Amino acid sequence: MKTDNIHWLGHDAFRIDDLGKQIYIDPWKLSPTAVKADYIFVTHSHYDHFSKEDILKISKETTKMFGPDDVAKELGKGATAISPDQELTLDQLKIKAIPAYNIGKKFHPKENNWIGFIIMLSDGTTIYHAGDTDFIPEMKTLKVDIALLPVSGTYVMTAEEAIEAANTFRPKVAIPMHFGEIVGSEKDAEKFKAGFKGETVIKKVEK
């Protein structure tokens, strides 16, 4: 499964190329020379996911921005609020917001309506960015090609929990994230790779 159009920018930040369009998810700590965004998706309002400084760095007049209600309100003009389970068609993309929340810890309450995203690219490839979440019941029925999954524990799934999640909904490829900044290390990604029954691609950070 092709993943060379998926660029890991550290932590939960990704840039995806699709037909020359640049899709960012949770941009944070970006290079000053980062390419401009056509679409920006924000999963929730914590500073390491919703960075206005980084959004400004990559925004242009035509950039379209999407996030949960609290993020969209703070971004103001040019931003669209999206709720869990909502679907959008966006130019060549199809988007679905997936709930993202903690079970048994307080960092990401379900009632905040924070989200992950499934993005269907122009060639039909589906990429799931889980956001900051535990292994929640809503994951069990997902059908996606590529899953970007947190593995660090503390605020999100541990590697073991991410393995259980991925082996339940079985993406063709999994890319571990949410390590190397704040919490977690590449050891968590390697642990995930050892336990996931599908293909794991551990990305190197691009800046």
Read off the pLDDT of residues 185-207 as tens digits, 9 standing for 90 and up. 778 899 999 999 999 999 999 87
Q: Is residue 205 part of a domain?
A: no
In this predicted structure, the answer to whether residue 51 has a pLDDT above a threshold of 90 is yes
Proportion of the chain above pLDDT 70, given as a percent: 99
Q: Is residue 43 part of a domain?
A: yes
Q: Is residue 106 part of a domain?
A: yes
Mean pLDDT in residue range 128-133: 95
pLDDT number for residue 207:
76
Q: Is residue 22 part of a domain?
A: yes
Confidence label for 107 from pLDDT (cuts 50, 70 and 90): confident
pLDDT number for residue 184:
65
The region of weakest confidence among 3-12, 44-53, 66-75, 114-123 is: 44-53
CA 96 to each of CA 87, 145, 161: distance values in angstroms, whole numbers, following the listed order: 4, 14, 23
Q: Is residue 41 part of a domain?
A: yes
Mean pLDDT in residue range 158-174: 96
- Alpha helices (runs of H) in the chain, residue ranges in sequence order: 52-58, 69-75, 159-169, 186-195
Q: Which residues are paired to 118 by β-bridges?
A: 96, 128
pLDDT number for residue 104:
81
CATH of the domain at 143: 3.60.15.10
Q: Is residue 207 part of a domain?
A: no
In this predicted structure, the answer to whether residue 124 has a pLDDT above a threshold of 90 is yes
Q: Is residue 111 part of a domain?
A: yes
pLDDT number for residue 59:
94
Q: Structural domain of residue 25, as residue ranges?
A: 6-200
Number of domain units in the chain: 1
CA atoms within 13 A on the CB side of 124: 1
Cα separation of 121 and 157, whole Å?
A: 26
Chain position carrying tokens 């790779």: 193
Q: Is residue 157 part of a domain?
A: yes
